[in-house]
Structure 1
């Protein structure tokens, strides 16, 4: 049996992985559970791991696999574990682990690169295509992919060289990771938050400062729905 805090943390991790395609950072877990320090999160994660609800993957930063859910969270629809890599492993996975069958994948255009760091020029041309699991692009709207350049989102599990899958949209909720077009000139991948009449574009790396801009200077181009890592 799980304590309320353990259940709340498991539900939060599962919800964020399903929504964003990447796990929440320890800071986000701490805020979500209203804890004062990350040590409390470490204890909760250890307890969930000991009880067999999650598994931490070796040699990967914050990589968590949700192995199972209690009945109160899983419902009757069933649950399939989803692994989100947080860093490159020391050794590449076997070739079978990297194969994507044609029946289970679709081709998405890769629209160049997106800055996870200092913003770069806006992107508008297709450079190539990439196969992604069809379940990653379920739902309404058009989808496209971008190659990540920079390390400002590493604490959100997004590394330099990763490919992010984006669903086209012009709206976002606070906390969403979005493709933001700044002053119609530069595109960046950041976490979106409203601050009165301004928009804050937050990095997930303490080395980068949050950019606060007038709302009229920021246009949301899409929301992150998945991530692909090539070994």
Structure 2
């Protein structure tokens, strides 16, 4: 039996996956449940995992899958919209070992380096199951500004090419045509806020026209 907060979080995750196909961020879960810190979200996620209501998808940042729902919750959940422009949730099935796609590897995403300057001919082999529809490229992550979203220095970020973003999505943003960064996108009126996922860093705020969306995070690959 779930506690009220566990039930509330599971319902929120299920609704967001049904609507957008993307798991909510820890910040969004914290705000939705009116919690003071992300540690409370981590505890609730852990409890739901132990009870096998959800599981984390391997090698993907902020990717959760709902395995089952309490009685009555499934009927109350809204249907997924039939909008092909929105990210769609794909059932995870075992892919053949040779089922890989080669996408461009554009180098390291680091402050002061425009995405355009990272273009190259190097390819990066990716399991097809990690990619959804659309055109993708890969970037090697530099730095620790997104560690609380499970994105570590040296990881390879799989990026779907898009030029627009919604609140809460992790994107590649190009600021002033010069500085590329991987951050969570937020709108504040006519301003854009780029949020890190590390308490040691502060959010960055810019006028809307200064920020160009270069892509949206589709997955993470980590090499050991």
Q: Relative to 1, partners in 2 of residues 1:157 and 1:6: Cα closer, same or farther, differing over 3 Å?
A: same
CA distance in 2, matches of 1:109, 1:11: 37
Q: State how far apart, in whole Å, the 2-side matches of 1:81 and 1:68 are.
A: 12
**Offset of residue 8 of structure 1:** 3.4
- When residues 80 and 5 of structure 1 are mapped into structure 2, their CA distance, relative to the original with a 3 A threshold, is farther
Tell me whether 1:122 sits opposite 2:121 in the alignment. Answer: no
Question: Secondary structure at 2:45's aligned position in 1?
Answer: helix
Distance 2:74 2:156 in 1: 30
Q: TM-score, normalised on structure 2? A: 0.74
Secondary structure of 1:19's partner?
A: coil
1:109 and 1:126 in contact (8 A); partners too? yes
* Structure 1 residues 142 and 47, CA gap change in structure 2 (3 angstroms): closer
Q: Which residue of 2 aligns with 1:87?
A: none
CA offset at residue 38 of structure 1?
A: 4.9
Distance 1:182 1:188 in 2: 8
1:102 aligned counterpart, secondary structure: coil
1:101 aligns with 2:94: no
Which residue pairs with 1:24 in the alignment? 25
Superposition deviation, residue 171 in structure 1: 0.6
Aligned equivalent of 1:85: none
1:110 aligns with 2:109: no
Judging changes above 3 Å, is the alpha-carbon distance between structure 1 residues 56 and 129 closer, same or farther for their aligned structure 2 residues? closer
SS at match of 2:215: strand
| Count of residues in Structure 1 that have an aligned counterpart in Structure 2 | 205
What runs of 5+ residues in structure 2 fail to find an aligned partner?
A: 78-89
Distance 1:8 1:207, change over 3 A: same
* Change in CA separation of 1:172 and 1:48 when aligned onto 2, cut-off 3 Å: same
Q: Is 2:136 the counterpart of 1:133? A: no
- Correspondences of 1:12-161 after superposition (within 5 Å): 12-13=12-13, 15=16, 19=22, 24-25=25-26, 27-38=27-38, 40-41=40-41, 44-54=44-54, 66=65, 68-70=67-69, 72-73=73-74, 101-103=97-99, 105-115=100-110, 119-124=111-116, 125-126=119-120, 128-139=122-133, 141-161=134-154
Q: What is the alpha-carbon root mean square deviation over aligned residues?
A: 3.7
Query: Structure 1 residue 219: deviation in Å?
Result: 0.6
Quote the offset at 1:66 in angstroms.
Answer: 4.7
* Residues 45-92 of structure 1 deviation map (CA, whole Å, 9 limit, x = unaligned): 3542442224689xxxx99875722274599xxx9679xxxxxxxxxx
Question: TM-score, with normalisation over the residues of structure 1?
Answer: 0.72
In 2, Cα distance between equivalents of 1:54 and 1:81: 14
